[in-house]
Amino acid sequence: MNITVYGVGYVGLVQAAVFADAGHNVCCVDVDEKKIEGLRNGIIPIYEPGLTPLVEHNYRENRLLFTTDPTVGIQHGEFQFIAVGTPPDEDGSADLSHVLAVAETIATHMEQPKIVINKSTVPVGTADLVGNKLRTTLDQRGVTIDFEVVSNPEFLKQGAAVADCTKPDRIIVGTDSDEVASKMRELYAPFNRNHDRLIVMDIRSAELTKYAANCMLATKISFMNEMSNLAEQLNADIEAVRQGIGSDSRIGYHFIYPGCGYGGSCFPKDVKALISTADTIGYSSHLLKAVETVNMSQKEILFQKIHDHFDGDLRGKTFALWGLSFKPNTNDMREAPSKVLIEALWQAGANVQAFDPEAMDECQRIYGRRDDLTLLGTKEAALHDADALIIVTEWKQFWSPDFNLIKNELSSPAIFDGRNLFNPERMRKEGIIYYSIGRL
CB 121 within 8 A of CB 107: no
CA–CA gap between residue 295 and residue 307 (Å, rounded): 19
- How many C-alpha atoms does 271 have within 13 Å on its Cβ side? 26
DSSP for 268-297, please give it.
HHHHHHHHHHHHHTT---HHHHHHHHHHHH
Nearest to 36 by CA among 13, 61, 62, 18: 13
Cα 95 to Cα 123, 149, 199, 262, 277, distances in angstroms? 10, 19, 27, 22, 12
Nearest to 127 by CA among 148, 97, 102: 148
How does 397-417 read in b/e, with b if 16+ C-beta sit within 10 Å? ebeebebeebbebbeebbbbb
CA–CA gap between residue 330 and residue 430 (Å, rounded): 31
Q: How many CB atoms lie within 10 A of CB 217?
A: 18
Starting from the edge strand earliest in sequence, which strands make up the sheet with 388-391, in order?
373-375, 351-355, 318-322, 388-391, 414-417, 433-435
Report residue 94 CA to chain centroid gap. Answer: 15
Q: Catalytic residue, from 27, 165, 260, 266: name it.
A: 266
- 175: DSSP letter: -
Q: Please indicate whether residue 266 is annotated as part of the active site.
A: yes
Nearest to 65 by CA among 14, 20, 13, 27: 27
Identity of the amino acid at 388:
A
Torsion, Cα of 83, 85, 86, 89 (10° steps): -170
Question: Which residues, 6+ apart, have CB-to-CB distance to 80 below 8 Å?
Answer: 4, 6, 73, 74, 106, 114, 115, 116, 117
Question: 272 phi and psi, to 5 degrees?
Answer: -60, -45
CB 325 within 8 A of CB 356: yes
CA–CA gap between residue 132 and residue 318 (Å, rounded): 56
- Torsion over CA: 299, 297, 154, 166 (sign): positive
Catalytic residues, by residue number, are 266
